[in-house]
Each structure stands twice: as structure tokens, then as C-alpha cells.
Amino acid sequence: MDNWDEIRTAFQVARLGTVSGAAEVLGVHHATVIRHIDALEGRMGVKLFQRHARGYTATEAGTDLMRVAQTTDDQLQQLEGRIKGRGNAVAGELLVTSLISFAPLMVPALKTFRARYPDVIVRFLTDDRVFRLEYGEAHVALRAGPAPQEPDNVVQAFSRQDIAMYAHRDYVEAHGLPEDEAALKDHYFVGHDDPDSRAPFQRWLTARVPYDRIVFRTTDTRVSETAVIGGAGIGFLGTREASRHPDLVQVMPPREDWTAPLWLVTHVDLHRTAKVQAFLSHLKEFCGEASAR
């Protein structure tokens, strides 16, 4: 196919379902979008879209073309991410991802990194999904749990997230503390909304406490931490985060089976770039200093 602009236009129309949406994303006039679609259909001799009042829907031929266009677009984004990460200057965008629960570590680390390298623009994205480094979605990922296995990624053991059980002093005054593990079933807990959550400490808790004792449930670790700090029940926090709240009482100390190993993950094509290496060194240094405090 000689004209990638036409394919790219068709891809956006198929993705968004309207000419106006594709025009906005591509930064062109809607007439240009229509012209590209008409030209592409004329060249291929098939209809790629069904036109209707609500917009455009891809035909079977259009869907086949869009699959190829999607792959090409992904590959171009991957190439763009690699090119942006190259160079000897520690400058431009640095895109880092992690779970939101690591924000108390990552935000100050990124702040001090920017103070050291003021030409860097930090982008810190948090999501439960695993960002695809091979498609340029991030330069550095901090992940917890089993070691990542993607073949094109460089994986480095980083640290560990020590997890303990805590309650606010207000909760302790109202309900006391469990004397032992067997007494946990008589208390109230903050926990995950999904009883089948894969978090090691959540699995440990649901094996020992009836689920109806988890009276404050959420899918967001920020909410669960806020609930424990607010006295809604006993719950799990990282020891680093809990140390910032003097009114928290440690109900049970960290356990090995609650602990999550942490990994720094980079793509092999970006791992040796100056920007990525500078940040990896800074983060390790920052984490070491934070642990010493």
C-alpha cells in the first residue's frame, strides 16, 4: 500500500466510529477524512465501511485492514518511544509507571530527580494494568510480585515492600487489639472488594477471617489506606507509609508471606540510554537513603 496517510485515516475512523472524531485526532478537516476513505476504497475496490446516521462501521474487509493498521501503528509507537529515549542528554520526557501504592516512594524520588536534571519532564502513570514497555508505553516500570518474564525486558531486583497490619488508635480504644491470630475473627477489617484478590496479605486474611468481618471494602489501595488511617477497621499498609502516621498502632508485624518483592523493569532497547540509567541510579540511591532514615 503506497499511501499510509489513507490507511491511518481509515484506522482512526474504524477506531472512533465517526469522521469528526478521526479528523480531530488527526488534526485535519473532516473533508480530508472523507476523501481519504473514498480514495482508499476506490483503490482497493471494496467497501471498507458501512455509512449510517450514527457514523461509520467497518465491514469485514475494513476490519481485516484495521488489524494490519493496528499492528503497524503499534510498531510506529514503539519506534517513537525508542527514538525518544535515545541520546546522551538527560532531558525530555521520562515516563515511569507503577501501582498507585508506590506513589509515596516514587513521587519524592521523581521530584529529587528533576531537581538534579531540570531539563526532564516527569510523567508518572499509575494503573493496575501492566504497561507494555515493548510498545513504548513507559521507560521504567516498578512492579511487585513474581519476577516479570517478558523476553525483551531487563529486570532488576530492586527492594521489597514490607507489609504489616495496622489500626488507628481510635479503633483500638473502641475495640481493643486481637490477643492472637484466632481472635482476628472478632474484629472489623478494611480489605479488598474482591474476596479472591491475589494480594498475598488479602489471601492470608480471608483464609482466617469470615468475609463479612471485612466491613470496609474497596478496590483502590489509596482508599483502603485512608480508611485504616481514619479508624474504619484493621488493615494492611506498607511499613514505609505507616511510619508517617504516628496514630497508627501495629497490630501484627510484617510477615514474609505478606511481602512483595519489587522489580525495576526496562526495555532492552532503552535500558542503556543516559536518561534511563540516570533515573535507575537515582532511584536506587534515593531508596537507600530513605531506608537509612
What is the phi-psi region of residue 181: left when phi exceeds 0, alpha when psi lies from -120 to 50, beta otherwise?
A: alpha
pLDDT at 87: 55
Q: Would you place residue 292 in the very low, low, confident or very high pLDDT band (cuts 50, 70, 90)?
A: very low
CATH label, 87-147+265-289, candidates 3.40.50.620, 3.40.190.10, 3.30.1330.40, 3.10.450.50 = 3.40.190.10
Whether 87-147+265-289 shares its CATH topology with 161-256 is answered yes
What would the pLDDT profile of 221-279 be if each residue is shown by its tens digit? 889 999 999 999 999 998 888 998 999 999 999 998 888 788 999 988 888 889 999 99
- Strands 92-98 and 120-126, how do they pair? parallel
The DSSP call for residue 207 is: T
What would the pLDDT profile of 42-82 be if each residue is shown by its tens digit? 888 888 888 888 888 888 887 887 777 777 766 666 656 65
Q: How far apart are CA 99 and CA 13, in angstroms?
A: 33
Q: Which fold has domain 2-74?
A: Arc Repressor Mutant, subunit A (1.10.10)
Q: How far apart are CA 226 and CA 100, in angstroms?
A: 13
Q: Considering the domain 161-256, what is its CATH architecture?
A: 3-Layer(aba) Sandwich (3.40)
* pTM of the shown model: 0.58
Q: Maximum CA pair distance of the chain?
A: 78
For the segment 31-35, the average pLDDT, to the nearest whole number, is 89
Average pLDDT, the chain: 86
Q: How far apart are CA 214 and CA 200, in angstroms?
A: 16
- In DSSP notation, 156-177 reads EEEEEE-EEEEEEHHHHHHH--
Burial class (CB in 10 A: 0-12, 13-18, 19+), 104: middle
The percentage of residues in the chain with a pLDDT greater than 90, rounded to a whole number, is: 40
Q: How far apart are CA 101 and CA 233, in angstroms?
A: 19
The domain locations on the chain are 2-74, 87-147+265-289, 161-256
Query: 508506590: which residue's cell?
Result: 102
